[in-house]
């Protein structure tokens, strides 16, 4: 092998090594970003769970108060209690409705490739052998 061939081979290998190293850095960054997204999703789930638990507790409390008032005619004190229960129910409803106000999920654009049928490779995939989409 000539000196030129040897150097070309060495440069090619070095280029592959650099490419692999850059790819490892990109994958590491992607892993960090995905972990951050996962942490954010967990925080959202915890917040929704806490809100749900709080609402369920308040509704159970209202049910207990209503059950205590079911017998007989309402006295003035009972009417005051009923009015307070209605106000609490309205507050709970407003709180739950406010949790959804203003949130519009992002629109996800469809894939530019039609879905592949059963057993057919996806257009532009390695299995398809059509590299024009790449």
Query: Is the pLDDT higher at 15 or at 93?
Result: 93
Query: Is the pLDDT higher at 51 or at 133?
Result: 51
Judge if pTM exceeds 0.75: no
Query: Is the pLDDT higher at 2 or at 126?
Result: 2
pLDDT grade, residue 20 (50/70/90)?
confident
Of the listed ranges 3-12, 38-47, 92-101, 114-123, the least confidently predicted one is: 114-123
The mean predicted confidence, pLDDT, of the chain is: 78
Query: Is the pLDDT higher at 24 or at 6?
Result: 24
Query: Is the pLDDT higher at 6 or at 50?
Result: 50
DSSP labels for the chain?
A: --HHHHHHHHHHHHHHHHHHHHHHHHHHHHHHHHHHHHHHHHHHHHHHHHHHHHHHHHHHHHHHHHHHT-SS---HHHHHHHHHHHHHHHHHHHHHHHHHTT--PPPPPPPSSPPP-TTPPPTTSTTTT--TT-
Structural domain boundaries of the chain? 3-86
- Does residue 100 carry a pLDDT above 80? no
């Amino acid at each position: 092998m000539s000196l030129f061939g040897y150097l070309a081979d060495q440069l090619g290998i070095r280029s592959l090594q650099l490419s692999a190293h850059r790819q490892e850095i990109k994958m590491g960054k992607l892993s960090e970003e995905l972990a951050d997204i996962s942490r954010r999703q967990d925080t959202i789930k915890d917040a929704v769970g806490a809100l749900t638990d709080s609402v369920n507790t308040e509704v159970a409390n209202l049910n207990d108060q209503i059950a205590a008032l079911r017998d007989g005619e309402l006295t003035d004190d009972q009417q005051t209690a009923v009015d307070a229960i209605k106000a609490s129910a309205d507050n709970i409803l407003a709180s739950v409705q406010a949790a959804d106000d203003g949130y519009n999920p992002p629109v996800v654009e469809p894939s530019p490739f039609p879905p592949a049928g059963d057993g057919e490779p996806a257009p532009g995939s390695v299995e398809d052998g059509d590299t024009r989409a790449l």
